[in-house]
A and B are shown apart, each in its own frame.
Chain A
Amino acid sequence: MSVLHAAEAPPPHLAPVAERLREVTVEVGSGDGSGAGILWAPDLVVTNAHVARATALQVRLADGRRLAAECVVADRRADLALLRVPRTRVALASLADSDGVRVGALVIALGHPLGLRGMLTAGIVHALGPLSPGGRPWIHADLRLAPGNSGGPLADTSGHVVGLNTMIAGGLALAIPINDVRRFVSAAQARVP
Protein backbone atom coordinates (compact mmCIF):
# COMPACT_ATOMS: atom_id res chain seq x y z
CA MET A 1 0.00 0.00 0.00
CA SER A 2 1.32 3.41 -0.90
CA VAL A 3 1.51 5.55 2.19
CA LEU A 4 0.98 8.63 0.04
CA HIS A 5 -2.38 7.54 -1.39
CA ALA A 6 -4.05 5.76 1.51
CA ALA A 7 -7.34 7.67 1.32
CA GLU A 8 -9.37 4.55 0.57
CA ALA A 9 -7.96 2.57 3.51
CA PRO A 10 -9.35 3.12 7.02
CA PRO A 11 -7.16 5.58 8.88
CA PRO A 12 -4.76 3.72 11.17
CA HIS A 13 -5.07 4.43 14.85
CA LEU A 14 -3.19 3.63 18.01
CA ALA A 15 -6.07 3.22 20.44
CA PRO A 16 -5.77 -0.57 21.07
CA VAL A 17 -2.01 -0.29 21.52
CA ALA A 18 -2.39 2.69 23.83
CA GLU A 19 -4.95 0.85 25.94
CA ARG A 20 -2.60 -2.12 26.46
CA LEU A 21 0.28 0.18 27.30
CA ARG A 22 -1.88 2.06 29.80
CA GLU A 23 -2.54 -1.20 31.66
CA VAL A 24 1.15 -1.87 32.25
CA THR A 25 2.02 1.72 33.23
CA VAL A 26 1.82 2.38 36.96
CA GLU A 27 2.16 5.49 39.07
CA VAL A 28 5.02 5.53 41.56
CA GLY A 29 5.26 7.94 44.46
CA SER A 30 4.77 8.66 48.08
CA GLY A 31 1.01 9.17 47.91
CA ASP A 32 0.20 11.95 45.48
CA GLY A 33 2.30 10.55 42.67
CA SER A 34 5.67 11.70 41.43
CA GLY A 35 6.39 9.53 38.41
CA ALA A 36 5.59 6.47 36.38
CA GLY A 37 6.78 2.88 36.27
CA ILE A 38 6.51 -0.27 34.16
CA LEU A 39 4.97 -3.55 35.40
CA TRP A 40 7.87 -5.90 34.70
CA ALA A 41 6.76 -9.06 36.52
CA PRO A 42 3.70 -9.93 38.64
CA ASP A 43 5.58 -8.59 41.69
CA LEU A 44 8.14 -6.23 40.11
CA VAL A 45 8.00 -2.64 38.89
CA VAL A 46 10.85 -0.82 37.16
CA THR A 47 11.18 2.96 37.34
CA ASN A 48 13.81 5.69 37.57
CA ALA A 49 15.89 5.95 40.74
CA HIS A 50 14.96 9.65 40.92
CA VAL A 51 11.28 8.66 41.08
CA ALA A 52 11.79 6.08 43.85
CA ARG A 53 13.42 8.38 46.39
CA ALA A 54 10.65 8.45 49.03
CA THR A 55 10.95 6.13 52.03
CA ALA A 56 7.30 5.00 51.98
CA LEU A 57 6.70 4.15 48.33
CA GLN A 58 3.34 3.47 46.84
CA VAL A 59 2.41 2.05 43.44
CA ARG A 60 -0.95 2.84 41.86
CA LEU A 61 -2.09 0.44 39.15
CA ALA A 62 -4.01 1.59 36.09
CA ASP A 63 -7.21 0.11 37.59
CA GLY A 64 -6.82 2.38 40.61
CA ARG A 65 -5.57 -0.17 43.15
CA ARG A 66 -2.85 1.14 45.44
CA LEU A 67 -0.05 -1.17 46.56
CA ALA A 68 2.75 -0.62 49.06
CA ALA A 69 6.10 -0.97 47.31
CA GLU A 70 9.55 -1.77 48.57
CA CYS A 71 12.68 -0.63 46.78
CA VAL A 72 14.80 -3.71 46.03
CA VAL A 73 17.69 -1.97 44.30
CA ALA A 74 18.20 1.65 43.28
CA ASP A 75 21.15 2.61 41.11
CA ARG A 76 21.45 6.41 41.19
CA ARG A 77 24.10 6.56 38.42
CA ALA A 78 22.05 4.44 36.03
CA ASP A 79 18.92 6.22 37.32
CA LEU A 80 17.09 2.89 37.56
CA ALA A 81 15.22 1.29 40.45
CA LEU A 82 13.53 -2.08 40.92
CA LEU A 83 10.51 -2.15 43.24
CA ARG A 84 8.76 -5.15 44.73
CA VAL A 85 4.97 -5.08 45.10
CA PRO A 86 2.45 -7.71 46.24
CA ARG A 87 1.76 -10.09 43.34
CA THR A 88 -0.76 -8.63 40.89
CA ARG A 89 -2.80 -10.40 38.24
CA VAL A 90 -2.69 -7.78 35.53
CA ALA A 91 -1.00 -7.84 32.15
CA LEU A 92 2.74 -7.33 32.07
CA ALA A 93 4.71 -5.11 29.75
CA SER A 94 5.82 -6.69 26.50
CA LEU A 95 9.37 -5.70 25.69
CA ALA A 96 11.03 -4.99 22.35
CA ASP A 97 14.67 -5.45 21.38
CA SER A 98 15.91 -1.87 21.65
CA ASP A 99 18.89 -2.66 19.39
CA GLY A 100 16.34 -2.85 16.56
CA VAL A 101 15.05 0.72 17.06
CA ARG A 102 15.48 2.96 13.99
CA VAL A 103 15.63 6.74 13.67
CA GLY A 104 12.33 7.99 12.25
CA ALA A 105 10.20 5.18 13.70
CA LEU A 106 6.95 6.21 15.39
CA VAL A 107 6.97 5.91 19.18
CA ILE A 108 4.45 6.55 21.94
CA ALA A 109 4.96 7.40 25.60
CA LEU A 110 2.65 6.80 28.53
CA GLY A 111 2.92 8.51 31.87
CA HIS A 112 1.46 11.06 34.21
CA PRO A 113 2.86 14.40 33.01
CA LEU A 114 2.20 17.17 35.51
CA GLY A 115 0.04 14.71 37.46
CA LEU A 116 -2.37 14.01 34.59
CA ARG A 117 -2.90 10.26 34.77
CA GLY A 118 -2.38 7.93 31.84
CA MET A 119 -1.53 10.54 29.22
CA LEU A 120 -0.37 9.39 25.80
CA THR A 121 2.04 11.38 23.66
CA ALA A 122 3.40 10.37 20.27
CA GLY A 123 6.39 11.26 18.14
CA ILE A 124 9.32 9.67 16.39
CA VAL A 125 12.79 8.44 17.29
CA HIS A 126 14.99 11.50 16.77
CA ALA A 127 18.45 9.99 17.25
CA LEU A 128 20.27 7.11 18.92
CA GLY A 129 23.43 7.28 21.00
CA PRO A 130 25.11 9.29 23.74
CA LEU A 131 24.58 13.01 24.42
CA SER A 132 28.34 13.52 24.21
CA PRO A 133 31.08 11.17 22.97
CA GLY A 134 31.74 8.32 25.38
CA GLY A 135 28.53 8.83 27.34
CA ARG A 136 25.78 6.30 27.92
CA PRO A 137 23.47 5.55 25.01
CA TRP A 138 19.98 7.06 24.92
CA ILE A 139 16.97 6.82 22.69
CA HIS A 140 16.28 10.47 21.79
CA ALA A 141 12.65 11.01 20.82
CA ASP A 142 10.96 14.00 19.17
CA LEU A 143 8.01 13.63 21.55
CA ARG A 144 6.54 15.73 24.35
CA LEU A 145 7.32 14.70 27.93
CA ALA A 146 6.86 16.55 31.22
CA PRO A 147 7.67 15.84 34.88
CA GLY A 148 5.58 12.78 35.76
CA ASN A 149 6.60 10.86 32.65
CA SER A 150 9.82 9.70 34.34
CA GLY A 151 9.99 5.93 34.69
CA GLY A 152 7.21 5.32 32.19
CA PRO A 153 7.38 3.37 28.95
CA LEU A 154 8.41 4.51 25.48
CA ALA A 155 6.92 1.97 23.07
CA ASP A 156 6.78 1.18 19.37
CA THR A 157 3.51 1.15 17.43
CA SER A 158 2.90 -2.49 18.40
CA GLY A 159 3.03 -1.51 22.06
CA HIS A 160 6.35 -3.24 22.74
CA VAL A 161 8.39 -1.19 25.20
CA VAL A 162 11.65 0.10 23.67
CA GLY A 163 12.78 2.43 26.46
CA LEU A 164 12.19 3.91 29.88
CA ASN A 165 11.50 7.67 29.76
CA THR A 166 14.04 9.38 31.99
CA MET A 167 14.92 12.96 31.06
CA ILE A 168 14.03 15.95 28.92
CA ALA A 169 16.96 17.69 27.22
CA GLY A 170 16.66 20.51 24.70
CA GLY A 171 12.99 19.70 24.16
CA LEU A 172 13.78 16.06 23.38
CA ALA A 173 12.67 13.02 25.36
CA LEU A 174 15.56 10.83 26.52
CA ALA A 175 14.79 7.19 27.28
CA ILE A 176 17.07 4.43 28.61
CA PRO A 177 17.12 1.65 25.97
CA ILE A 178 15.06 -1.27 27.30
CA ASN A 179 17.96 -3.71 26.73
CA ASP A 180 19.97 -1.71 29.29
CA VAL A 181 16.99 -1.93 31.67
CA ARG A 182 16.87 -5.72 31.10
CA ARG A 183 20.54 -6.02 32.09
CA PHE A 184 19.92 -3.88 35.19
CA VAL A 185 16.98 -6.06 36.28
CA SER A 186 18.93 -9.31 35.69
CA ALA A 187 21.86 -8.00 37.73
CA ALA A 188 19.54 -6.76 40.48
CA GLN A 189 17.74 -10.12 40.67
CA ALA A 190 21.07 -11.96 40.82
CA ARG A 191 22.14 -9.83 43.76
CA VAL A 192 18.80 -10.00 45.61
CA PRO A 193 17.19 -13.40 45.14
Chain B
Amino acid sequence: MSSVMDLSNALAGAVATAARSVFAVHGRPRLPSTGVLWRPGLVVTASHTVESDREVTLTTPDGQSISAQVAGRDPGLDVAVLRAEAGGVPVAELAPDADLRIGHLVLALGAGPRASVGVVSALDTRAGRAAPGETIAVDLTLYPGFSGGPLVDVLGRVIGIATSGASRHLQWAIRASAVSRLADHVTQRGRIPRAYLGVGTQPVALPEALRERLGLEQRTAVIVVNVRPDSPAGTAGLIMGDVLLSIGDEAIAEPEDVVAALRPERVGQTVTVRIVRGGEPRELRVAVGERPPRG
Protein backbone atom coordinates (compact mmCIF):
# COMPACT_ATOMS: atom_id res chain seq x y z
CA MET B 1 0.00 0.00 0.00
CA SER B 2 2.84 2.35 0.80
CA SER B 3 4.04 1.93 -2.78
CA VAL B 4 0.90 3.68 -4.00
CA MET B 5 1.77 6.62 -1.76
CA ASP B 6 5.34 6.47 -3.15
CA LEU B 7 3.93 6.70 -6.66
CA SER B 8 1.65 9.58 -5.65
CA ASN B 9 4.62 11.43 -4.13
CA ALA B 10 6.69 10.74 -7.24
CA LEU B 11 3.99 12.23 -9.46
CA ALA B 12 3.67 15.34 -7.27
CA GLY B 13 7.47 15.62 -7.22
CA ALA B 14 7.60 15.32 -11.02
CA VAL B 15 5.10 18.18 -11.35
CA ALA B 16 7.07 20.37 -8.91
CA THR B 17 10.36 19.68 -10.73
CA ALA B 18 9.06 20.24 -14.26
CA ALA B 19 6.92 23.27 -13.31
CA ARG B 20 10.09 25.25 -12.51
CA SER B 21 10.70 25.51 -16.29
CA VAL B 22 7.09 26.16 -17.39
CA PHE B 23 5.70 29.51 -18.57
CA ALA B 24 2.29 30.88 -19.43
CA VAL B 25 2.48 32.13 -23.03
CA HIS B 26 0.33 35.14 -23.97
CA GLY B 27 0.41 35.09 -27.75
CA ARG B 28 -3.28 35.04 -28.68
CA PRO B 29 -6.45 36.69 -27.38
CA ARG B 30 -8.00 35.37 -24.17
CA LEU B 31 -6.67 31.91 -23.33
CA PRO B 32 -2.91 31.78 -22.60
CA SER B 33 -1.04 28.64 -23.66
CA THR B 34 1.99 26.97 -22.08
CA GLY B 35 5.70 27.01 -22.90
CA VAL B 36 8.89 25.30 -21.68
CA LEU B 37 12.42 26.65 -21.33
CA TRP B 38 14.19 24.25 -23.72
CA ARG B 39 17.61 25.87 -23.97
CA PRO B 40 19.03 28.95 -22.27
CA GLY B 41 17.05 31.86 -23.77
CA LEU B 42 14.75 29.63 -25.87
CA VAL B 43 11.16 28.81 -24.92
CA VAL B 44 9.19 26.24 -26.92
CA THR B 45 5.40 26.34 -27.34
CA ALA B 46 2.66 25.29 -29.79
CA SER B 47 2.81 27.32 -33.00
CA HIS B 48 -0.97 27.67 -33.31
CA THR B 49 -1.14 29.48 -29.96
CA VAL B 50 1.21 32.29 -31.00
CA GLU B 51 -0.29 34.57 -33.62
CA SER B 52 2.06 36.15 -36.12
CA ASP B 53 2.84 39.87 -35.85
CA ARG B 54 1.78 39.87 -32.25
CA GLU B 55 3.65 40.94 -29.15
CA VAL B 56 4.27 37.86 -27.03
CA THR B 57 4.63 38.00 -23.26
CA LEU B 58 5.47 35.17 -20.91
CA THR B 59 4.62 34.68 -17.25
CA THR B 60 7.56 33.06 -15.48
CA PRO B 61 7.02 30.26 -12.91
CA ASP B 62 7.36 32.86 -10.13
CA GLY B 63 4.76 35.17 -11.70
CA GLN B 64 6.90 37.77 -13.46
CA SER B 65 5.97 39.09 -16.89
CA ILE B 66 8.69 39.10 -19.56
CA SER B 67 8.61 39.76 -23.30
CA ALA B 68 9.45 37.21 -26.00
CA GLN B 69 10.01 37.17 -29.76
CA VAL B 70 9.23 34.37 -32.20
CA ALA B 71 12.61 33.03 -33.38
CA GLY B 72 11.10 30.41 -35.67
CA ARG B 73 8.20 28.08 -36.15
CA ASP B 74 7.29 24.82 -37.84
CA PRO B 75 3.55 24.98 -38.55
CA GLY B 76 3.59 21.38 -39.82
CA LEU B 77 4.69 20.06 -36.42
CA ASP B 78 2.87 22.91 -34.62
CA VAL B 79 5.96 24.03 -32.72
CA ALA B 80 7.21 27.59 -32.21
CA VAL B 81 10.52 28.60 -30.67
CA LEU B 82 10.57 31.92 -28.79
CA ARG B 83 13.50 33.99 -27.59
CA ALA B 84 13.24 35.30 -24.04
CA GLU B 85 15.57 36.34 -21.26
CA ALA B 86 14.27 34.14 -18.49
CA GLY B 87 16.78 34.98 -15.76
CA GLY B 88 16.93 32.34 -13.06
CA VAL B 89 14.49 29.87 -14.63
CA PRO B 90 16.17 26.44 -15.02
CA VAL B 91 16.22 24.71 -18.42
CA ALA B 92 13.92 21.66 -18.53
CA GLU B 93 15.56 18.26 -18.25
CA LEU B 94 14.85 16.08 -21.30
CA ALA B 95 14.25 12.32 -21.12
CA PRO B 96 16.22 10.12 -23.53
CA ASP B 97 13.92 8.91 -26.35
CA ALA B 98 14.83 5.27 -25.75
CA ASP B 99 13.55 5.28 -22.17
CA LEU B 100 9.95 5.70 -23.21
CA ARG B 101 7.68 2.63 -23.38
CA ILE B 102 4.02 2.10 -24.19
CA GLY B 103 2.11 2.07 -20.91
CA HIS B 104 4.42 4.44 -19.07
CA LEU B 105 2.68 7.03 -16.94
CA VAL B 106 2.96 10.56 -18.29
CA LEU B 107 1.85 13.91 -16.94
CA ALA B 108 0.79 16.88 -19.04
CA LEU B 109 1.55 20.25 -17.49
CA GLY B 110 0.01 23.68 -17.86
CA ALA B 111 1.25 26.90 -16.32
CA GLY B 112 0.14 27.39 -12.75
CA PRO B 113 1.03 24.55 -12.32
CA ARG B 114 -1.85 22.45 -13.58
CA ALA B 115 -1.53 18.76 -14.37
CA SER B 116 -3.28 15.76 -15.86
CA VAL B 117 -2.12 12.18 -16.02
CA GLY B 118 -2.37 9.27 -18.46
CA VAL B 119 -0.31 6.68 -20.28
CA VAL B 120 1.73 6.44 -23.46
CA SER B 121 -0.62 4.74 -25.97
CA ALA B 122 1.67 4.36 -28.96
CA LEU B 123 5.17 5.22 -30.09
CA ASP B 124 6.55 5.96 -33.53
CA THR B 125 3.12 6.51 -34.95
CA ARG B 126 2.73 8.65 -37.98
CA ALA B 127 0.24 10.94 -36.30
CA GLY B 128 -1.52 13.48 -38.43
CA ARG B 129 1.03 15.11 -40.67
CA ALA B 130 4.17 14.45 -38.66
CA ALA B 131 6.92 12.17 -39.90
CA PRO B 132 7.48 8.76 -38.27
CA GLY B 133 9.20 9.05 -34.91
CA GLU B 134 8.25 12.66 -34.39
CA THR B 135 5.12 12.03 -32.35
CA ILE B 136 3.80 9.85 -29.55
CA ALA B 137 0.17 9.14 -28.78
CA VAL B 138 -0.92 9.60 -25.18
CA ASP B 139 -4.18 8.76 -23.43
CA LEU B 140 -4.84 11.75 -21.21
CA THR B 141 -6.90 14.94 -21.10
CA LEU B 142 -5.31 18.12 -22.41
CA TYR B 143 -7.25 20.90 -20.74
CA PRO B 144 -7.70 24.35 -22.32
CA GLY B 145 -4.38 26.18 -22.18
CA PHE B 146 -2.24 23.00 -22.08
CA SER B 147 -1.13 23.42 -25.72
CA GLY B 148 2.61 23.94 -25.89
CA GLY B 149 3.12 22.52 -22.42
CA PRO B 150 5.45 19.67 -21.58
CA LEU B 151 4.62 16.01 -21.26
CA VAL B 152 6.82 14.65 -18.51
CA ASP B 153 7.67 11.24 -17.14
CA VAL B 154 7.40 10.30 -13.45
CA LEU B 155 10.83 11.81 -12.84
CA GLY B 156 9.72 15.18 -14.23
CA ARG B 157 11.83 14.83 -17.40
CA VAL B 158 10.31 16.22 -20.59
CA ILE B 159 9.36 13.62 -23.21
CA GLY B 160 7.47 15.93 -25.56
CA ILE B 161 5.32 18.96 -26.21
CA ALA B 162 1.52 18.85 -26.22
CA THR B 163 -0.04 20.35 -29.33
CA SER B 164 -3.56 20.07 -30.65
CA GLY B 165 -4.66 16.48 -30.56
CA ALA B 166 -6.89 14.08 -32.41
CA SER B 167 -9.76 14.00 -29.94
CA ARG B 168 -10.57 14.67 -26.33
CA HIS B 169 -9.05 11.45 -25.05
CA LEU B 170 -6.40 10.54 -27.61
CA GLN B 171 -3.74 13.17 -27.84
CA TRP B 172 -0.50 13.53 -29.73
CA ALA B 173 2.67 15.04 -28.49
CA ILE B 174 5.73 16.08 -30.44
CA ARG B 175 8.69 14.10 -29.17
CA ALA B 176 11.46 15.97 -27.39
CA SER B 177 14.04 14.89 -29.99
CA ALA B 178 11.99 16.45 -32.81
CA VAL B 179 11.60 19.67 -30.79
CA SER B 180 15.35 19.71 -30.11
CA ARG B 181 16.07 19.51 -33.86
CA LEU B 182 14.01 22.68 -34.34
CA ALA B 183 15.77 24.37 -31.42
CA ASP B 184 19.10 23.40 -33.08
CA HIS B 185 18.10 25.33 -36.22
CA VAL B 186 17.55 28.43 -34.09
CA THR B 187 20.82 28.03 -32.17
CA GLN B 188 22.88 27.38 -35.31
CA ARG B 189 21.23 29.58 -37.92
CA GLY B 190 19.21 32.02 -35.85
CA ARG B 191 15.94 30.81 -37.39
CA ILE B 192 13.96 27.76 -38.48
CA PRO B 193 14.16 27.66 -42.29
CA ARG B 194 10.77 27.43 -43.96
CA ALA B 195 10.79 25.14 -46.99
CA TYR B 196 9.21 26.75 -50.04
CA LEU B 197 7.74 25.69 -53.39
CA GLY B 198 5.98 28.87 -54.48
CA VAL B 199 2.53 27.48 -55.28
CA GLY B 200 -0.98 28.33 -54.13
CA THR B 201 -3.37 25.37 -53.97
CA GLN B 202 -7.02 24.47 -53.50
CA PRO B 203 -8.47 21.08 -52.58
CA VAL B 204 -10.00 18.96 -55.35
CA ALA B 205 -11.85 15.63 -55.41
CA LEU B 206 -10.28 13.02 -57.66
CA PRO B 207 -12.74 11.43 -60.14
CA GLU B 208 -13.29 7.71 -59.48
CA ALA B 209 -12.18 6.77 -63.01
CA LEU B 210 -8.91 8.64 -62.61
CA ARG B 211 -8.22 7.03 -59.22
CA GLU B 212 -8.79 3.56 -60.70
CA ARG B 213 -6.66 4.23 -63.74
CA LEU B 214 -3.72 5.55 -61.69
CA GLY B 215 -4.20 3.14 -58.78
CA LEU B 216 -4.56 5.96 -56.23
CA GLU B 217 -5.75 5.39 -52.67
CA GLN B 218 -6.31 9.06 -51.90
CA ARG B 219 -9.77 10.46 -52.69
CA THR B 220 -8.68 14.07 -52.82
CA ALA B 221 -5.65 16.08 -53.91
CA VAL B 222 -4.85 19.75 -54.48
CA ILE B 223 -4.93 21.79 -57.66
CA VAL B 224 -2.33 24.46 -58.34
CA VAL B 225 -4.08 27.83 -58.59
CA ASN B 226 -0.98 30.00 -58.88
CA VAL B 227 2.75 29.62 -59.37
CA ARG B 228 5.17 32.35 -58.36
CA PRO B 229 7.59 33.19 -61.15
CA ASP B 230 11.21 32.27 -60.39
CA SER B 231 10.05 30.05 -57.51
CA PRO B 232 11.22 26.42 -57.14
CA ALA B 233 7.86 25.26 -58.55
CA GLY B 234 8.03 27.68 -61.46
CA THR B 235 11.59 26.68 -62.32
CA ALA B 236 10.65 23.00 -62.24
CA GLY B 237 7.83 23.60 -64.72
CA LEU B 238 4.72 23.36 -62.55
CA ILE B 239 1.85 25.31 -64.08
CA MET B 240 -1.57 26.49 -63.05
CA GLY B 241 -4.10 23.65 -63.23
CA ASP B 242 -1.68 20.86 -62.35
CA VAL B 243 -3.18 18.47 -59.81
CA LEU B 244 -0.62 17.71 -57.09
CA LEU B 245 -0.78 14.09 -55.84
CA SER B 246 2.37 13.70 -53.75
CA ILE B 247 5.57 15.40 -52.68
CA GLY B 248 8.53 13.12 -52.00
CA ASP B 249 6.29 10.03 -51.60
CA GLU B 250 3.95 11.82 -49.15
CA ALA B 251 0.37 11.87 -50.40
CA ILE B 252 -1.13 15.34 -50.70
CA ALA B 253 -4.84 15.14 -49.92
CA GLU B 254 -5.39 18.73 -48.84
CA PRO B 255 -3.51 22.05 -48.80
CA GLU B 256 -2.30 21.51 -45.20
CA ASP B 257 -0.44 18.40 -46.39
CA VAL B 258 1.69 20.65 -48.60
CA VAL B 259 2.67 22.68 -45.52
CA ALA B 260 3.48 19.47 -43.61
CA ALA B 261 5.57 18.05 -46.45
CA LEU B 262 7.68 21.20 -46.49
CA ARG B 263 9.69 20.42 -43.38
CA PRO B 264 12.73 22.56 -42.53
CA GLU B 265 15.02 19.60 -43.40
CA ARG B 266 13.73 19.68 -46.99
CA VAL B 267 15.30 23.06 -47.75
CA GLY B 268 17.94 22.46 -50.43
CA GLN B 269 16.76 18.91 -51.21
CA THR B 270 15.39 17.86 -54.58
CA VAL B 271 12.09 16.01 -54.28
CA THR B 272 9.89 14.15 -56.74
CA VAL B 273 6.47 15.74 -57.20
CA ARG B 274 3.73 13.61 -58.77
CA ILE B 275 1.10 15.50 -60.68
CA VAL B 276 -1.78 14.95 -63.08
CA ARG B 277 -1.75 17.26 -66.11
CA GLY B 278 -4.44 16.95 -68.76
CA GLY B 279 -5.51 13.61 -67.27
CA GLU B 280 -2.02 12.15 -67.54
CA PRO B 281 0.33 11.40 -64.65
CA ARG B 282 3.74 13.03 -64.61
CA GLU B 283 6.67 13.35 -62.29
CA LEU B 284 8.67 16.53 -61.82
CA ARG B 285 11.88 17.06 -59.87
CA VAL B 286 11.69 20.16 -57.70
CA ALA B 287 14.58 21.72 -55.77
CA VAL B 288 12.95 22.89 -52.54
CA GLY B 289 13.91 26.45 -51.69
CA GLU B 290 13.71 28.58 -48.56
CA ARG B 291 10.74 30.87 -48.12
CA PRO B 292 11.80 34.47 -48.67
CA PRO B 293 11.25 36.78 -45.69
CA ARG B 294 7.88 38.48 -45.63
CA GLY B 295 7.32 42.13 -46.54
CB-CB nearest in chain B for A172: B143
From the candidates A14, A103, A170, name the one contacting B4 in the complex (CB within 8 A): A14
Asked if A4 is an interface residue, CB under 8 A from chain B, the answer is yes
Which chain B residues border A129 with CB–CB below 8 Å?
112
Contact flag A105-B8 (CB < 8 Å), given A127-B115, A170-B143? yes
Asked if B114 is an interface residue, CB under 8 A from chain A, the answer is yes
- Could you tell me if A157 and B5 are in contact, using CB atoms closer than 8 angstroms? yes
A158 to B1: give the CA distance in the assembly, Å.
8
A146 to B288: give the CA distance in the assembly, Å.
54
- Could you tell me if A105 and B9 are in contact, using CB atoms closer than 8 angstroms? yes
Binary per-residue interface labels of chain B (137-152) against chain A in the complex, 1 for a CB within 8 Å, 0 otherwise:
0000101100000000
Asked if B10 is an interface residue, CB under 8 A from chain A, the answer is yes
- Could you tell me if A127 and B4 are in contact, using CB atoms closer than 8 angstroms? no
Which chain A residues border B15 with CB–CB below 8 Å?
102-104
A106-155: which have CB < 8 Å to B? 106, 123-127, 129, 140, 142
From the candidates B6, B115, B141, name the one contacting A104 in the complex (CB within 8 A): B115
Contact flag A104-B12 (CB < 8 Å), given A12-B7, A126-B114, A127-B113? yes
Binary per-residue interface labels of chain B (148-192) against chain A in the complex, 1 for a CB within 8 Å, 0 otherwise:
000001110000000000000000000000000000000000000
Asked if A193 is an interface residue, CB under 8 A from chain B, the answer is no
CB-CB nearest in chain A for B9: A105
From the candidates B4, B7, B14, B116, name the one contacting A126 in the complex (CB within 8 A): B116
- Could you tell me if A12 and B11 are in contact, using CB atoms closer than 8 angstroms? no
Asked if B16 is an interface residue, CB under 8 A from chain A, the answer is yes
Determine how close the nearest CB of chain B comes to the CB of A96; give it in whole angstroms. Answer: 12
| Chain B CB within 10 Å, residue with most, of A17, A142, A156, A158 | A142
Which chain A residues border B4 with CB–CB below 8 Å?
12-14, 17, 106, 157
A9 to B3: give the CA distance in the assembly, Å.
9
Chain A interfacial residues counted at CB < 8 A: 29
Chain A, interface SS category: loop
A172 to B154: give the CA distance in the assembly, Å.
22
A141-193: which have CB < 8 Å to B? 142, 156-158, 170-172
Asked if B79 is an interface residue, CB under 8 A from chain A, the answer is no
From the candidates B1, B12, B104, B113, name the one contacting A105 in the complex (CB within 8 A): B12
Binary per-residue interface labels of chain A (1-42) against chain B in the complex, 1 for a CB within 8 Å, 0 otherwise:
101101001001110110000000000000000000000000
Chain B interfacial residues counted at CB < 8 A: 32
From the candidates A4, A9, A103, A124, name the one contacting B153 in the complex (CB within 8 A): A4
From the candidates B10, B112, B113, name the one contacting A3 in the complex (CB within 8 A): B10
Which chain A residues border B16 with CB–CB below 8 Å?
102-104
Asked if B117 is an interface residue, CB under 8 A from chain A, the answer is yes
From the candidates A16, A17, A104, A140, name the one contacting B107 in the complex (CB within 8 A): A104
Contact flag A124-B116 (CB < 8 Å), given A4-B155, A103-B15, A106-B11? yes
- Could you tell me if A157 and B141 are in contact, using CB atoms closer than 8 angstroms? no
Which chain B residues border A126 with CB–CB below 8 Å?
114-116, 143
Determine how close the nearest CB of chain A comes to the CB of B128; give it in whole angstroms. Answer: 23
Contact flag A124-B114 (CB < 8 Å), given A3-B6, A158-B5? no
Which chain B residues border A9 with CB–CB below 8 Å?
3
From the candidates A16, A17, A102, name the one contacting B12 in the complex (CB within 8 A): A102
- Could you tell me if A127 and B114 are in contact, using CB atoms closer than 8 angstroms? yes
Determine how close the nearest CB of chain A comes to the CB of B116; give it in whole angstroms. Answer: 4
Determine how close the nearest CB of chain A comes to the CB of B26; give it in whole angstroms. Answer: 16
- Could you tell me if A156 and B154 are in contact, using CB atoms closer than 8 angstroms? no
- Could you tell me if B115 and A17 are in contact, using CB atoms closer than 8 angstroms? no
Contact flag A142-B115 (CB < 8 Å), given A104-B16, A105-B12, A170-B144? yes
Which chain A residues border B280 with CB–CB below 8 Å?
none
Asked if B53 is an interface residue, CB under 8 A from chain A, the answer is no
Determine how close the nearest CB of chain B comes to the CB of A64; give it in whole angstroms. Answer: 27
Binary per-residue interface labels of chain A (77-106) against chain B in the complex, 1 for a CB within 8 Å, 0 otherwise:
000000000000000000000000011111
18 A-B pairs with CB atoms under 8 Å apart are: A1-B6, A3-B6, A3-B10, A3-B154, A4-B153, A12-B1, A102-B12, A103-B19, A103-B115, A104-B11, A123-B117, A142-B115, A142-B116, A142-B117, A157-B5, A157-B8, A158-B1, A171-B143
